[in-house]
Chains A and B, each alone.
Chain A
Amino acid sequence: MKIMPCPLNGPRNISEFTFGGEVTPLPDVASAPDSEWAEHTFYSYNGTGVAREWWYHVPSGYWFVAERHRVTDEILRTYDPSELPADALNNQQEAFQ
């Protein structure tokens, strides 16, 4: 079984986890136009490099971040969301490469 190194629970079988999509900054709730919400909701990274992704450990109810290669499936790094760079979740950020 593929192993996911969970920042909270240590290495666990990948079947204990759910994929939660790409980590993208949330549009400004008060002012973002519909087009920005559509972009945020429906468009995400689908390249052949490393993606920064949300993952959820189901048994412990814990969300964290994994950096995973979309061709080799290698998990390069996992960490608690508190360690995300400050601009990763607000709307001023460039797309993650």
Chain B
Amino acid sequence: MPFALLKYGLNKDYPFEQDADLPAPTSLKPHYDAVIIGGGGHGVATAYYLAKYHGITNVAVLEKGYLGGGNTARNTAVIRSNYLTSEGVKFYSESVKLFKDLSNEFDFNIMYSRRGQLTLAHTDSAIRAFRQRAEVNKHFGGKTELIGPQEIRELVPTLNMNPGHQPVLAGLWHMDGATARHDAVAWGYAKGATQRGVELHQLTEVTDVLVEASSSSSGGKVTGVKVRQGSAEHTIRCGVAVQAVSGHSTLLAEKAGFQLPIVSYPLQAMVTQPVKPFLDPLVSSPAFHCYVQQTGRGEIVFGGGSDPYPLYNSRSTLELKEQLLAHAVELFPFMANLKLMRQWTGLTDMTSDYSPIMGLSPVENYYLDAGWGTWGFKSTPICGQAMAELVATGKVPELIQPFSADRFSEFRQVNEMGATAASH
């Protein structure tokens, strides 16, 4: 080591190591057909499908930190489609389908693993909501059913069936539920996109969005962005820009001159030391604001809802950590004896209906991929496809039309709160 480590520790600059699978960074060009702001899973997926399906490769993905270092690196990788609304179920089902073949498509293992996801009901009203979700899911071809305590015991023998004096009454058993390696998804897309000619610029922060007056749009029209690389500043022109910056969505939109109905909250998760395999399905309990799953390496990953108040800070609050630990131990009492390895936080862009915002913005040729809150990892493939189609054609694909930003001013929310809160 440790000298190199010490040197980095004392250095203000982030140590940059070039990934062998990605081309070495080039200098920025003065013009791109499309600029994608944010190099998380969503940004690189959009670039990938633009190159693959639409032959548009004069594209730059601009990332202020490193590839997939935002919420893409921080999420707990729950993939599922057992939402409540028809719009939601239709959309997320497409993503679940795409995930299944992603390793083959990339020729790179994203460790997709279908485990099934079990959500617990502790009240009669939760059972009623689960019945509805099961029916909506089946209608759109998903495999979801309501199951009773006996089946739950068989699926998860270690579960405390009477946690905190709120007995487990039933479960929503979603057989399509799965998980995958979140980083690998970003790497696979980035590799595929750059191989086709897309440029990925890391350590490149967009500091301003350039907008000029337009006769067809009161919000003006995007013409380019200003970026900062270290101490150097550049102006880049572009035909189209997409913003995919999760927790920073409102800050960037403000630079483009408009507001978004989004508030940023910290969301945390934790992981224990590895133990023998004991838990195959992903288990969540909305009543206990907690979900628990075991990784392929044996560690137990668990998380809950967002922090109780908005904050731009990844330290997050101690109160929520304590609550999360207490609830996880309530559901799986033997976890009390385990050691925690890590705890971390991401900054989630929450909408009031717990659905994303995709599509047009008040600024012409400036497209939105935002409001992914605590649930956007699972949608990476389908969102990338839809956003690429929007960039290439200028038309909002039907699948994402219900998720437009103006649904709020038109009172057409897509309410997924109940189906999202503690399951992601």
Which A residues form the contact surface with B (CB < 8 A)?
1-2, 14-15, 18-19, 34-35, 38-39, 41-44, 46-48, 51, 53, 70-73
Contact A46 B352 (CB under 8 A): no
B379-424, CB < 8 A from A: 408-411
- Closest partner residue, chain A, to B249 (CB atom): A46
Contact between chains at A48 and B409 (CB < 8 Å): no
A39 with B311: CB separation less than 8 A: no
Given A71-B313, A72-B313, A46–B411 Cβ distance below 8 Å?
Answer: no
Whether B5 is near chain A, meaning CB under 8 Å from some CB there, is no
Interface residues on B, range: 20 to 34
Q: Is B262 an interface residue (CB 8 A)?
A: yes
Identify which of B254, B261, B310, B409 contacts A70 (C-beta below 8 A). B310
A41 CB to closest chain B CB, in angstroms?
8
Select one of A44, A48, A72, A73 contacting B251, CB under 8 A.
A48
- Whether B55 sits at the interface, judged by CB under 8 Å, is no
**Which chain A positions have C-beta within 8 A of B250?**
46-47
Minimal beta-carbon separation of B283 from chain A (angstroms): 26
A14 touches B313 (CB 8 A): no
List residues of B (246-295) whose CB comes within 8 Å of A's CBs: 250-251, 254, 259-264
Counting CB contacts under 8 A, is B3 at the interface? no
A-B contact pairs, 23 of them (CB 8 A): A18-B308, A19-B308, A19-B309, A19-B310, A38-B409, A42-B352, A42-B408, A42-B409, A43-B260, A43-B261, A43-B408, A44-B263, A46-B310, A47-B251, A47-B254, A48-B251, A53-B309, A70-B311, A70-B312, A71-B311, A71-B312, A73-B313, A73-B317
Quote the shortest CB–CB distance from B304 to chain A (angstroms): 15
A38 to B406, CA, bound (A): 10
Q: Return chain A residues, CB-CB under 8 Å to B408.
A: 38, 42-43
* Cβ proximity bits B312-330 to A, threshold 8 Å, 1 near / 0 not: 1100011100000000000
By beta carbon, the residue of chain B nearest A68 is B309
Known: A2-B317, A53-B309, A70-B311. 14 other contacts (CB 8 A): A1-B318, A14-B317, A14-B319, A19-B310, A42-B408, A42-B409, A43-B259, A43-B260, A43-B261, A46-B262, A46-B264, A47-B251, A48-B312, A72-B313
- CB proximity of A65 to chain B, nearest CB, Å: 14
Chain B residues positioned under 8 Å from A46 (CB to CB): 250-251, 260, 262-264, 310
Decide: B310 and A15 in contact? CB cutoff 8 A: no
* Closest B residue to A21 using CB positions: B263
B311 touches which one: A1, A15, A73 (CB < 8 A)? A73
Write out the residue numbers on chain A whose beta carbons fall within 8 Å of the beta carbon of B251.
Answer: 46-48
Closest to B310 in A: A70
Q: Is the CB of B259 within 8 A of A38?
A: no
B352, closest chain A residue (CB): A42
What's the minimum C-beta distance from B326 to chain A, rounded to whole angstroms? 12
Q: In the bound complex, what is the Cα–Cα distance between A42 and B250 (angstroms)?
A: 13
Report Cα–Cα, A70/B309, bound state, in Å: 10
Q: In the complex where A19-B309, A42-B352, A70-B312 touch, is A1 in contact with B409 (Cβ < 8 A)?
A: no
Contacts of B352 in A (CB 8 A): 41-42
Q: Across the interface, which residues of A come within 8 angstroms of B411, CB to CB?
A: 34, 38
Q: Is A2 within 8 A of B313, CB to CB?
A: no
Q: Measured between alpha carbons, how far is A53 from B309 in the docked complex, in Å?
A: 10
A62 to B308 CA separation, bound complex (whole angstroms): 18
Q: How far is the CA of A1 from the CA of B309 in the complex (A)?
A: 15
CA of A14 to CA of B407, assembled, Å: 34
Residue of chain A at shortest CB distance from B250: A46
Residues of chain B lying within 8 A (CB to CB) of residue A14: 317, 319
Q: Least Cβ distance of B163 to chain A in Å?
A: 20
Measured in the bound complex, the distance between the Cα atoms of B313 and A72 in whole Å is 7
Residues of chain B within 8 A of A34, CB atoms compared: 409, 411
Q: Are B319 and A15 in contact (CB under 8 A)?
A: yes
The residue on A at minimum CB distance from B411 is A38
Closest 7 CB pairs of A and B: A19-B309, A42-B261, A38-B409, A46-B250, A42-B408, A71-B312, A46-B263
Chain A residues whose C-beta falls within 8 Å of the C-beta of B254 in the assembled complex: 47
